């Protein structure tokens, strides 16, 4: 067999295995509840995880010069501080659900969010098909 084909095949196979081994776990992450992170932060130190919680009112601190957003999220009684270095979402106030992707830093006791998404629950409440307003 040709030596160049063997070397080329080896390089391609090594590159594919490297991508599978190193790139996939960091890109996908595991969804973890905020109460789990707060209860056992050392378990998630340095791991890429996803978390969802409600924005804590009056916890938002926005530094436009450093493009740094600090806030807290809560879920089922647990509260976690979050740091995001990036643009503040437009609807980042009031009754907002925050979806976080990033790593927990046990030294600073803060979740460092690489990605930040918001959902407003009122946008997803559908009206009654007959137009009747119901109080729940």
Q: What is the pLDDT along the chain (136 residues), one digit of tens a residue?
A: 789 999 999 999 999 888 877 766 555 678 899 999 999 999 988 889 999 999 998 899 999 999 999 999 999 999 999 999 998 888 888 888 999 999 999 999 999 999 999 987 666 556 555 655 555 5
Q: Count how many Cα atoms sit within 13 Å of the Cα of residue 29 in the half-sphere of its side chain.
A: 21
Residue 94: predicted pLDDT: 80
Say how far apart CA 61 and CA 114 lie, in whole Å: 17
Angle, vertex CA 35, rays to CA 30 and CA 40, nearest 5:
75
CA 131, CA 97: separation in Å to the nearest integer? 27
The pLDDT value recorded for residue 40 is 93
pLDDT the model gives residue 85: 94
Pairing type for strands 48-55 and 97-105 reads: antiparallel
Query: What pLDDT is stored for residue 34 in this prediction?
Result: 92
Q: Which of 55, 30, 28 is nearest to 43 (CA)?
A: 30
The whole-angstrom separation of Cα 116 and Cα 130 is 36
Check residue 120 and give its pLDDT: 75
Quick one: CA dihedral 89, 90, 91, 92, positive or negative? positive
pLDDT the model gives residue 45: 85
pLDDT of residue 95: 83
């Amino acid at each position: 067999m040709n030596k160049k084909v063997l070397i080329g095949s080896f390089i391609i196979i090594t590159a594919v295995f490297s991508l599978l081994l190193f790139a996939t776990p960091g890109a996908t992450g595991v969804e973890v509840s905020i109460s789990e992170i707060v209860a056992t932060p050392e378990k998630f130190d340095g791991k890429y995880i996803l978390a969802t919680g409600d924005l804590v009112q009056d916890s938002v601190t926005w530094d436009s010069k450093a493009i740094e957003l600090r806030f807290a999220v809560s879920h089922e009684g647990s509260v976690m501080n979050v740091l995001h270095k990036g643009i503040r979402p437009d609807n980042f106030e009031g009754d907002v659900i925050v979806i976080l992707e990033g790593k927990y830093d046990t030294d600073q006791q803060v979740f460092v969010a690489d990605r930040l998404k918001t959902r407003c629950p009122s946008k997803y409440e559908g009206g009654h098909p007959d137009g009747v307003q119901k109080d729940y």
